[in-house]
Amino acid sequence: MEYALIVAGGKGLRMGTELPKQFLPIGGKPVLMRTLEAFYDYNTGIQIILVLPRGQQDYWRQLCREYHFLLPHVIADGGETRFHSVRNGLALVKTPALVGVHDGVRPFVAREVIARCYDLAAGKKAVVPVIGVVETVRRMEGEGSVTVGRDDYRLVQTPQVFDAELLKAAYEQPYMPHFTDDASVVEALGASVFLTQGNRENIKITTPFDLKIATALIDSCSI
């Protein structure tokens, strides 16, 4: 069994729009619908769990009716942080299974990346897509800073795919502020994480600038 746990329980403070960013339309369709479609395109039998703040769930159902959005999914309640949202969604996962945790605001994940992450997770148990750093990176040191070797760093994306039993065990740990993704939670349990190539278009729509990029990506696809 494969699950996609799509987290969209955040506040979108950095986007700053009245309408939560996961509902903003890009190319005429809400971001979140595009994200769910990416997983359904990969596997029409995937079990999709969508995590949304309770106060946004009726609005989402209304949007689904408006857009005739019929992809099967269940809804879980958002939590205080991403960690708590994932934990709420995980409560609906039955083992044995593979679970891919994906940000609702990453609609441009490539089908090959999703497929590779799930395929690898069947053996490796914990798989994370990453991309290289294309700019020079500096580390701040007191009043100054030094250049660090960018080849030593990777930017981390989602979906992060795990053996469900491992992920559930990891999310039984108490929350720590350095848990900024699922891999960090699993590593805190002592497990290793396997890295694979992500896709550069798989941006996390976080700021108004990202929304411009997202619109441009849609426009370039529909030429």
Alpha-carbon span 1 to 99, nearest angstrom: 9
Alpha-carbon span 49 to 87, nearest angstrom: 12
Residue 17 touches which of ligand LQXTBERG, ligand CTP, none (Cβ within 5-8 Å per kind): none
158 binds ligand LQXTBERG (CB under 6 A): yes
181 binds ligand LQXTBERG (CB under 6 A): yes
Options 37-45, 103-111, 160-168, 211-219: segment touching ligand CTP (CB under 6 A): 103-111
Residue 89 touches which of ligand LQXTBERG, ligand CTP, none (Cβ within 5-8 Å per kind): none
Measured CA to CA in angstroms, residue 154 lies from 122, 148, 198 at distances of 23, 13, 10
Alpha-carbon span 161 to 125, nearest angstrom: 8
Among 2, 4, 5, 12, binds ligand CTP (CB under 6 A): 12
192 binds ligand LQXTBERG (CB under 6 A): no
Strands 126-132 and 154-156 come out as antiparallel
Options 49-57, 155-163, 170-178, 211-219: segment touching ligand LQXTBERG (CB under 6 A): 155-163
* Residue whose CB is less far from ligand CTP, 19 or 148: 19
107 binds ligand CTP (CB under 6 A): no
Tokens of 146: 């030094």
CB of 181 to ligand CTP, least distance (A): 9
Among 30, 100, 104, 159, binds ligand CTP (CB under 6 A): 104
Options 34-42, 53-61, 144-152, 154-162: segment touching ligand LQXTBERG (CB under 6 A): 154-162
Q: Is 171 within 8 Å of 162 (Cβ atoms)?
A: no
CB of 101 to ligand LQXTBERG, least distance (A): 8
Residues that bind ligand LQXTBERG (CB under 6 A): 82, 103, 156-158, 180-181, 204
Give the binding site for ligand CTP (CB under 6 A): 7-14, 51, 78-82, 85, 103-105, 204, 206
